[in-house]
Amino acid sequence: MNTLVCTQPGNFEYRAAPEPVLTPGNTVIKIKRIGICGTDLHAFEGTQPYFEYPRILGHELAAEIVDTDAAPGFGRGEAVTIIPYFNCGNCIACRSDKPNCCVSLKVCGVHIDGGMAEYLSVPSYSLVHSNGLTFDELALVEPLAIGAHGIRRAGVTPGEFALVIGAGPIGLGAMEFARIAGANVIAMDINTSRLAFCKDRLKIGHTVNALSEDVMEQIRDITHGDMPTVVIDATGSQKAINNAFQYLAHGGRYVLIGLQKGEISFSHPEFHKREGTLMSSRNATRADFELVMLALKDKQIDPLTYITHRVTFDQVKGEFPSWLKPENGVIKAMVET
């Protein structure tokens, strides 16, 4: 079979590899769609934490089952997606029903080889029924689930103001689920076209350009002087993460979905007097996947909003570098295999 390997930052190579064979407890799937996410882009750039080369990228997947073992209710030829966070099942996190932050977690396409291939063997416990969703929709479930998990971590309630910083695919998903939860959503980014996308396509009521000189005043005006009770970072930018502590309302919650390599720095007195809550949000759970799939089925989210670029598998190597350029307006590139 043909695979696409990121051999080192800035370089892809197509390589032949043997097709996976069925082993106990696993399922062989034929890849039909691969969504390109920020993790893939950062790996290509060389800025992704916990990453080693060479690596086959790809974890936003839609597929068909080729052969399966230990997967009751699943059958050959069935359309599926997967939960690409492979967990041990035994550690403190797994025993606490938090497999998304397993002590020895292996994320498909990050810590181990992923889905930029014709076929892939995955643990059978990772399979998710399609529930009638299309391949395009199935490949969007995972990135939307990341945002949904962050909103669930924040405990967003109707009527409160939620500031989501970063209007990439993960941030957009967080905005969608904050909206579904009933929040008044504020989108912040430095990219004017992304902010226009939030306003025009997602119908986000408030947008703020982080490069504006009066950011604090804008947010204070929007929130009637209170400031947001929920702040979500979906940038992975150290500067943005550190800067956002000042936007948090007294008694508010700050959730970090974005990830970067450096250290967080903030004023302890300012954070303490707010009695703020700081949380990380890692990956997603099956419950988040189910919530996303229900939202897609109920047309609360339009998947076609996200897919701005579409290529075939043999075009990925040539097109991938262009997806890093903001002027190309990429929200979600979808690979068809």
- What pLDDT was estimated at residue 236? 87
Q: Tell me, yes or no, whether 65 and 125 share the same domain.
A: yes
- What pLDDT was estimated at residue 3? 98
**Are 164 and 186 contacting, i.e. CB atoms less than 8 angstroms apart?**
yes
Torsion, Cα 307 311 313 314, to 10 degrees, reads -160
Residue at 172 is within a domain? yes
- What pLDDT was estimated at residue 99? 98
Residue at 299 is within a domain? no
Q: Tell me, yes or no, whether 119 and 15 share the same domain.
A: yes
Sheet holding 277-280, edge to edge: 206-209, 184-189, 161-165, 230-233, 253-256, 277-280
C-alpha neighbours within 13 Å on the C-beta side of residue 49: 8
From first CA to last CA, the distance across the chain in angstroms is 12
- What pLDDT was estimated at residue 49? 77
Q: Tell me, yes or no, whether 122 and 157 share the same domain.
A: no
Residue at 215 is within a domain? yes
Residue at 295 is within a domain? no
- What pLDDT was estimated at residue 48? 81
- Write down which residue in 262, 280, 298 finishes a domain: 280
How far, in Å, CA of 162 to CA of 4, rounded? 39
Give the model's confidence band at 207: pLDDT under 50 very low, under 70 low, under 90 confident, else very high: very high
- What pLDDT was estimated at residue 50? 74
Q: Tell me, yes or no, whether 165 and 116 share the same domain.
A: no
CATH number for the domain harbouring residue 154: 3.40.50.720
CATH number for the domain harbouring residue 7: 3.90.180.10
Q: Tell me, yes or no, whether 38 and 110 share the same domain.
A: yes
Q: Tell me, yes or no, whether 116 and 161 share the same domain.
A: no
Structural domain harbouring 195? 147-280
Query: What is this structure's pTM?
Result: 0.95
Q: Tell me, yes or no, whether 174 and 268 share the same domain.
A: yes
How far, in Å, CA of 234 to CA of 166, rounded? 5
Residue at 136 is within a domain? no
Residue at 237 is within a domain? yes
Q: Tell me, yes or no, whether 123 and 239 share the same domain.
A: no
What average pLDDT does this structure show over 101-106? 98
| Domain total of the chain | 2
- What pLDDT was estimated at residue 20? 98
Q: What is the pLDDT of residues 105-139, one digit of tens each?
A: 999 999 999 999 999 999 999 999 999 999 999 99
Q: Tell me, yes or no, whether 170 and 232 share the same domain.
A: yes
Helix and strand counts by DSSP (H, E) for the chain: 10, 17
Q: Tell me, yes or no, whether 109 and 185 share the same domain.
A: no
Residue at 35 is within a domain? yes
**Are 194 and 234 contacting, i.e. CB atoms less than 8 angstroms apart?**
no
What average pLDDT does this structure show over 62-79? 97
- Write down which residue in 235, 263, 280 finishes a domain: 280
Residue at 141 is within a domain? no
- What pLDDT was estimated at residue 278? 98
- CA distance to 54, 66, 107, 261, 274, per residue, from 39 (Å): 15, 27, 11, 13, 33
How far, in Å, CA of 231 to CA of 285, rounded? 21
Share of the chain above pLDDT 70, in %: 100
Residue type, 134: T
- What pLDDT was estimated at residue 304? 83
- CA distance to 75, 154, 228, 325, per residue, from 271 (Å): 52, 17, 14, 36
Q: Tell me, yes or no, whether 182 and 274 share the same domain.
A: yes
What average pLDDT does this structure show over 191-215? 96
Q: Which residue has the tokens 């904050």?
A: 178
Q: Which ranges of 103-247 does DSSP label H, i.e. alpha helix?
A: 135-154, 169-180, 192-200, 215-222, 238-243
Which one, of 115, 12, 35, 6, lies nearest residue 335 by Cα?
A: 35
Q: Tell me, yes or no, whether 163 and 218 share the same domain.
A: yes
